[in-house]
Amino acid sequence: MSRIVILGAGIAGHTAARYLNKWVGKEHEIVVVSPNAKWNWIPSNIWVGVGQMSEEDVTFDLAKLYSKTHVDFRQAKALSIHPEGNAESAKPFVTVEYTNPAKAGVVENIDFDFLINATGPKLNFGATEGLGPEHGHTVSVCSAKHAIEANEKLQASIAAMRKGEKQNIVIGTGHGMCTCQGAAFEYIYNVDHALREAGVRNMARIIWISNEYELGDFGMGGVHIKRGGYITNGKTFAESLMVERGIEWITRAHVKKVEAGKIHYETMDGQFHELAFDFSMLIPPFAGVGLKAFNKAGEDITGQVFAPNGFMKVDADYTARPFMEWSAKDWPRTYQTPAYRNIFAVGIAFAPPHLISKPMQSANGTPINPTAPRTGMPSAAMAKAVAMSIRDMLKGAEKPTHTASMAEMGAACVASTGSHIFKGTAAAMTVFPVVPDYEKYPEFGRDIDLTFGEIGLAGHWMKYLLHHAFIYQAKLRPGWSLIPD
């Protein structure tokens, strides 16, 4: 019997766990390690953040679910990886510290035959002074609890508007190197919708602030889409949405500091500005969770296993080169680490080989550009491919058997407003592939027949149905494996 340890139980980790449980759970041991007691369908935190859904609508208890499977769930935080074992043990292991109340603070070594790093990101609020809900002045929708607080402050802002007080609402990215613009993009439209529903939209100035060079970049280097039989670019698509709703925008911005009611930011031209706010939701930059790695002698090999940003190196080409010389072929396919055939990293946990959006700096040398997105559908696709490879390697395959390159997969983004089935609208956009391939698609880098955008109620229905479908799937309800990831 072999043991497979999965670090993290988000979209990537839980996807790997449920498929491995289905395929090899009776013959092999599966251990899931996560510091969180609950699974969270993060895309719907947007609706929690405007009071359209509750925490219970977007989360469920992991221990309770896994108790009905062959998965051994440990509520703990991974501290370090020992891929060669140590002087006392020849088996590779991970060191974890328990976070559940019953064993809080207990440190344990868990040996493994295969390891999947699906730890996701550290929400690096500390990268910007005054950013975030815990030690700063802005709110977040990156977790269900953050989203609850965001809604509480939004409702307070709405109450102030009802009393005749004008409000400045600022939503976007809180650092020059942020990713996940899509979450903020969707949230700003939901806030606009909530204010209209409350009858106070005329009392609010809503402003989008982002590190994108142009609207519609989303960390993907921009996108050309087919809409209504015509080809347009993501900038025009995104700007039209903003104009229709009376939303202002600031791009090419790095938020340097946040004070109570005031955002300090730098723009690409090297100028410094201030922006007053009454309510602000700014996405933080992401970093690796801080895992360490040690060899058999106990020497620190973190720099060999992880990139400087804390994300794990995999089978990508990390050769330093000018941006214009990168290729779609640089991106990983199997997510296996170079030095250890039994270790994989998926989702946000793997280190991208380069930016998709062109690296930019302000006149002062400050980096201002989105980093590559790898959440949602890509995370699930990677996790399933790795689970299939491990299944086959357990049966004797010498190397990974399945691939999921972001340069060979598509993704769909549905930015929907409101959670009511008959009220709301959505901007739905698909891209294929996520990482543009200019060798295969020389004109736009993507297959224009599979890259398109639409606005309307149908997209809203899709988002609403996807919410319920993916939670049904994640809860391992009957027939869950028939639902595409």
What whole-number distance in Å separates Cα of residue 434 and Cα of residue 242? 24
Q: By three-state DSSP, how is residue 447 classified?
A: coil
* pLDDT exceeds 90 at position 221: no
More confident residue, 180 or 245: 245
Task: Return contacts of 292-299, CB within 8 angstroms, 24+ apart.
Answer: 292/79, 292/80, 292/81, 293/80, 293/81, 293/82, 293/83, 294/80, 294/81, 294/82, 294/86, 295/82, 295/83, 295/84, 296/82, 296/84, 296/85, 296/86, 296/87, 297/87, 298/86, 298/87
What whole-number distance in Å separates Cα of residue 136 and Cα of residue 148? 16
Task: Please tell me the least confidently modeled range out of 2-11, 358-367, 398-407, 429-438.
Answer: 429-438
- Output the pTM of the full model: 0.94
Q: Encode pLDDT of 84-97 as tens digits.
A: 999 888 899 999 99
Beta bridge partners of 282: 172
* Contact yes or no for 452/430 (Cβ under 8 A): yes
- Tell me the mean pLDDT in the region 292-313: 97
Assign domain 3-123+286-394 one CATH number from 2.60.40.10, 3.50.50.100, 3.20.20.140, 3.30.720.210.
3.50.50.100
Is the link from the previous residue into 433 a cis peptide, with omega within 30 of 0? yes
Q: What sign for the dihedral angle of Cα 48, 49, 52, 54? A: positive
Max Cα-Cα span within the chain:
70
DSSP string, 355-382: -SSPP-B-TTS-B--PPPP--SHHHHHH
- The full set of domain ranges for the chain reads 3-123+286-394
Q: Encode pLDDT of 382-417 as tens digits.
A: 999 999 999 999 999 999 999 999 999 988 777 776
